Amino acid sequence: MMNSDSYVSGEVRFIWAKPNAVLIACQDEEYWIPRSLLSYDCDKEVDNLVRGVDFTISLRAWKADKIGLVY
């Protein structure tokens, strides 16, 4: 059984980043994800992404389950 504090990874589309959140598209829906829920490496990666690119997000399992992220 996976711990809800664990990180999981899945493919999403990057839309936008703000200092405290990232806007992604997952399963044809858009979600604002607090950057505090991203893994350290993923949080640093989003600063270099351009709108519309697909990337592997790494975030807390409970949030991934909530948005329907396939991992």
Level-2 CATH architecture, domain 8-67: Beta Barrel (2.40)
Give residue-wise pLDDT tens across range 12-46: 999 999 999 999 999 889 999 999 999 999 999 99
> Taking the model in full, what pTM does it have?
0.91
- For 43, 45, 51, 56, the CA distances from 71, given in Å and listed in that order, are 18, 19, 22, 10
Alpha-carbon torsion (23, 25, 26, 29), positive or negative = positive
32, containing H or E segment:
strand 29-34
- Say whether pLDDT at 3 is over 70: yes
The predicted structure's pLDDT at residue 1: 53
Sorted by where each begins, the domain ranges of the chain are: 8-67
Residue labelled with tokens 């350290």: 40
